[in-house]
Every structure is written in C-alpha cells, then in structure tokens.
Amino acid sequence: MKPQKLDSKIYRFIKNSSIAALLFGAALFFYACENDIEKIKAFSSPENLPIIEAKNFETLFTDSGTIRYSLKTTKLLRFENEGNEFIEFPEGMQLIQFDANKNVISSLRADYAKQFVKEQMWEAKNNVVATNKQGDTLKTEHLIWEEKEEKIYTEEFVKIIRPDQIITGVGFTSDQYIQNWKIKNLKGTIFITVDDEGEKKSDSLDIESEVRKEKQPFQRPLKFEK
C-alpha cells in the first residue's frame, strides 16, 4: 500500500504554523536581548556614574578666608544628573565645625552620608554620632542637617549622653550646634553621679507619668550647660 500524500491544505497549514512559531520565537529572543541590552545601557550610562571619585579624601571649607569645616572620608563620589547634584560617602565620613578662633564647636560622623549640593542639605545614616563644644553626644541611626536653615532633626530613636545624665527618646530637633534642642517623644532619663571614690552611679527615672501630665514635656528648647 502506497502512503497517501497529505492533503495540500493541511500541508500548507502545518508549514505556515511552523514558520509563524519560528518567527514568534525569534521575536521573543530579540525582545529579551533588547531588554538586557537596555538594562546594561542603563547601568553603564554616564548618568548613573560618578563624575568624580576620590579615596582617602580630606578637605577644608573656608568662609572669607576663615576655616569653618574639615571633612574626612575614605571614599567620595560626586554625581550630576539633569540638575540633580549630590555627593555620596558610601564608606562614611567625619565632619568637624570650627569657630572663628579654630575651636571645635561641633562634629558629625556616620557610616554613610550624602550631601545634596543645591539644596544645601546633608543626610547621615547608620551609627550617626554628633557632638557639641561641651562634649555632649547625640547618637541615632538617621539625621538630617539643613545648612541654610541651620538645623538638624530626625524621626528615629535618639540617645543624648551628657556628663551627668543620659536621655533617650524618639524624634529630635536642634540648631546645628546642638545647643538648643527638643525631643518629641521622651522615653527616659538616667542621672549619673560620682561618689567619693570617683565611681559613677546611675539612677533611672521613669518619666512616663510626667509625660502623661504634660502633653508636651519640653515646650521650650533645652540648653546644654557645661
């Protein structure tokens, strides 16, 4: 018995279907390749690359010939993209502020920071530590510094360490010198005293009852006293 030939219509249908499937697969392949290429282009685009990169960088900022700030960082990246200009410190930085007599009046260090140039604003993250000229210390995980407004603030947990007390809370605002400050949600205070033998002792004070009595326990800014 001779094999029967396929009906011409069925043959043409199968042939056309095979060609369509082949073309569709090729289209998917080139579409996927195109997407990958676009991703590579976006990643390697000059817009996403720093225009300046520096390591073990140190510099001084001056005002009318007077040194105002000292900046140190192990890595600095400067970006410019469509008018958006910022400097990134991916490995942390230390910023020290001086008065007219070159005395240290405040300092700031963090494991990560970013400076928004046009906005005149800094953002510090991770192990943020700020100090004032009296040696009082602010610790938090996130801090914003607005240079133009001369203020710093955070919505995160904060700890303020002074020679005679430790204060904790959530939310913090202050002038940039950390002289006049306010904690939004005060959590507690530990008073530290030194006995005759020079050993420090601490007494914790639960202030939740006081917070309930006064909806705004610190309505006026507190001042550090040496």
219: confidence class by pLDDT, cuts 50, 70, 90: very low
The closest alpha carbon to 222, from 132, 106, 98, belongs to 132
Is a pLDDT exceeding 50 seen at residue 216?
no
Once rounded to an integer, what is the mean pLDDT over residues 214-218?
Answer: 37
Whether the pLDDT of residue 19 is over 80: the answer is no
In 64-218, DSSP assigns E strands to 66-81, 84-89, 93-98, 104-110, 112-116, 121-132, 137-146, 151-161, 165-175, 180-194, 200-205
Supply the mean pLDDT for the chain. Answer: 77
The predicted model scores a pTM of: 0.67
Q: 32: helix, coil or strand?
A: helix
State pLDDT tens for residues 171-209: 999 999 999 999 999 999 998 775 555 555 555 544 343
For domain 51-223, give the CATH superfamily: Lipopolysaccharide (LPS) transport protein A like domain (2.60.450.10)
27 pLDDT more than 80: no
Q: Is the pLDDT of residue 106 over 90?
A: yes
pLDDT tens for residues 31-44?
455 555 454 444 44
Question: Domains of the chain: which residue ranges?
Answer: 8-35, 51-223
Residue 179 neighbours by CB under 8 Å, 6+ apart? 132, 223, 224
Residue type, 156: E
Which pLDDT score, from 0 to 100, does residue 41 have?
Answer: 46
- pLDDT at position 119 is 94
